[in-house]
Amino acid sequence: MIVLYQILAFAIVLGIIVFIHELGHFFAARLMGVRVEVFSFGIGKRLVGKKIGDTDFRISLIPLGGFVRMAGEEDFENKTPRPDEFHAKNRAQKIFILSMGSIMNLFLAFVILFFIALGGVETEAYKSEPPRIGHVEEKSPAAEAGIRKNDVIRKVAGRRVMNWEDLELAIRANPGDRLDVVYERNGLVRHTELSVATRTEYNVGYAGLFWEHRAVVLDVQPDSPAAAAGLQAGDLILSVNGETVNYFEISDFIGARADQPLHFEIRRDDRVIRRTIRPQTVDGRGRIGINLGPHSPITISHYSIFGAVKHSGREMLKLALLTFNAFKKLIVGKLSPKNLSGPIEIAKFSQRAMESGLSNFFILIAFISLQLGIINLFPIPVLDGGHLMIYTIEAAIRREFSPKIKSLLMNIGLFFLIALMVFVVLNDVAKALPNGWRSIIPF
């Protein structure tokens, strides 16, 4: 059932994005007077469809993409194309038709982010706060760099850090890099070098720096000291013995005080209550019988129409820069190709996003749509960007490539895309296996 749910979520995400992309090509072609022979969702063998006018609207066997086939589009050798064929149009018209798919993907991302901003954007409140360190994990890259609790990060890799969102983004986007960090301690500016590690199968950058999350009770074990004191799930621990003890510190704080009465100040709903709890000794450490989690308050920001436009544009620019930065790192070898995600991983992300709410689901659609819009403009033959590259070169040299050269370039691009698809699918499988790629290729 989980697999079916993932397939359904993936089909919805990909279906919306591909449909909008091909719709851009379709309307641009019709606007320029080009006859469209096929509008297909999916590739491969035709399953079902209906011909309307000159166009066969169809669903094809493999739901990994789609295409619009325009009359005469692949006939490079035809010197006298009909007026309604693609190659009968001038270079500007061809560029317009080819670029409209990506433009529609970018427009879809903008519209989704715009309406989400109008409805209210949920964010963790701490992300907008100054980047004062609340906890440094032991033996982490940050600890080895000499960063301590209460330090304030000012710059990372020469860029100013305004809040926790900036700091987390700078770290997560640079796995494996050595970053120059400027921070402030007791009013004095210091410098250090942070060697960013990686964490999870997606190789996200990790440094071991955290905001000062308070501890919230997730559940209370029956017949425990906490249960006897009346603690409940959802209680927020404000202080212990008058000290503010955060989520990362509280277990050790309690563990070091076995059989000592501890005075808890707790927020429950809108009330502050106080309880005294004496930890039991279990395996030489104090235990009160609760499971805790980090408390991260959520804020909802509502935008006016003009504010939503500004917010959407800012978010798209940030996502676009992240995409370009990731591909730049792939090209220069600073980011492993294993970070690429294929259809299996996208299906998992789609399922999780759908389960977490419509807002997150549509944010995922916006993110993938924006990435598709950008990547499709890359100068790789077969992609729209490859065709645009050819037309640009032809315009610069003032003559057209021969049909043989164009066909050769298209075949090279097709081979590259097939190889890339095989790699990302195998990479998705490897991420789910216990030994990663070694489970597939043992040498």
pLDDT tens digit sequence for 312-366 = 999 999 889 888 887 887 777 776 666 677 677 777 777 777 777 788 888 889 9
Question: pTM of this prediction?
Answer: 0.80
| Phi, psi of 92, deg, nearest 5 | -65, -40
Integer Cα distance of 96 and 33 in angstroms: 12
Question: Does 320 reside within a domain?
Answer: no
The residue behind tokens 């074990």 is: 221
Q: Write out pLDDT tens, residues 173-228.
A: 888 889 999 999 999 999 999 999 987 656 678 999 999 999 999 999 999 999 99
* Same-domain status, 382 and 413: yes
Collapse the DSSP code of 208 into the 3-class scheme (helix H, G, I; strand E, B; otherwise coil) and give the result. coil
pLDDT of 212 reads 92
Residue-level pLDDT at 31: 95
Whether residue 11 is found in the same domain as residue 59: yes
Query: Domain holding 245: CATH number?
Result: 2.30.42.10
Phi, psi of 369 (to 5 degrees): -65, -45
Q: Alpha carbon 180 to chain centroid distance?
A: 25
Query: Do 44 and 109 belong together in one domain?
Result: yes
pLDDT of amino acid 75:
72
Question: What integer pLDDT is reported at residue 201 of this predicted model?
Answer: 59
> Residue 11, Cβ neighbours under 10 Å: how many?
15
- Total domain count, the chain: 3
Residue 363 and residue 425 in one domain: yes
Q: Is the pLDDT of residue 271 over 60?
A: yes
Q: Is residue 396 part of a domain?
A: yes
Return d(Cα 315, Cα 321) in angstroms, integer.
Answer: 10
Instruction: Please spell the DSSP secondary structure of 341-356, one letter per residue.
Output: --HHHHHHHHHHHHHH
131 and 146 housed in the same domain: yes
pLDDT at site 436 = 67
- Per-residue model confidence (pLDDT) at position 316: 92
Residue ranges making up the domain that contains 190: 127-210
In whole angstroms, what is the distance from residue 274 CA to residue 263 CA? 7
Question: For the chain, how far is it from start to end, CA to CA, in angstroms?
Answer: 35
- For 71-222, where are the E strands, in sequence order? 121-124, 135-136, 152-156, 159-160, 178-185, 188-195, 197-199, 204-206, 209-210, 214-220
pLDDT at 65: 73
Decide if 332 is inside a domain: no
Specify if 24 maps to a domain. Answer: yes
Calculate mean pLDDT across residues 55-84.
83
Contact present, 131 and 161 (Cβ < 8 Å): yes
Average pLDDT, the chain: 88
Give the DSSP H or E segment for 55: strand 55-70
Q: Is residue 352 part of a domain?
A: no
Query: What is the pLDDT, as a whole number, of residue 234?
Result: 94
Asked if the structure places residue 336 within a domain, the reply is: no
Strand partners, 288: none
Is 80 exceeded by the pLDDT of residue 443?
no
123 contacts 116 by C-beta, under 8 angstroms: no
Judge if 139 and 53 occupy the same domain. Answer: no
Residues 225 and 146 in one domain: no
pLDDT of 336 reads: 67
The answer to whether the CB of 316 falls within 8 A of the CB of 144 is no
Tell me: do 114 and 46 sit in the same domain: yes
5-24: average pLDDT: 85
| Helices 91-119 and 305-332: angle between axes, nearest 10 degrees | 120
C-alpha to C-alpha distance for 260 and 279, rounded to whole angstroms: 7
Q: What's the CA angle centered on 11, arms 3 and 420, to 5 degrees?
A: 90
Length of the chain: 443
Rounded Cα–Cα distance for residues 128 and 296 (Å): 12
Residues 147 and 199 in one domain: yes
Q: Is 312 part of a structural domain of the chain?
A: no
Q: Are residues 47 and 135 in the same domain?
A: no
As a whole number of Å, the CA-based R_g of the chain is 28
∠ CA 120-126-131, nearest 5°, is 135
- Of the residues 210, 241, 259, which one is the last residue of a structural domain? 210
Q: Looking at the structure, tell me whether residues 220 and 184 fall in a common domain.
A: no
Q: How many angstroms separate the CA atoms of 107 and 114, rounded?
A: 10
Which amino acid would we find at residue 15?
G
The domain boundary, picked from 184, 210, 236, lies at 210
Residues 148 and 180 both lie in one domain: yes
Q: In degrees, to the nearest 5, what angle opens at C-alpha 385 toward C-alphas 384 and 388?
A: 90
**Contact status, residue 64 vs residue 137, Cβ threshold 8 Å:** no
The answer to whether position 382 is within a domain reads: yes
Q: What CA dihedral angle connects 419, 422, 425 and 430, to 10 degrees?
A: -100
The answer to whether 348 and 396 are in contact (CB under 8 A) is no
Q: Choose the final residue of a domain: 263, 295, 327.
A: 295
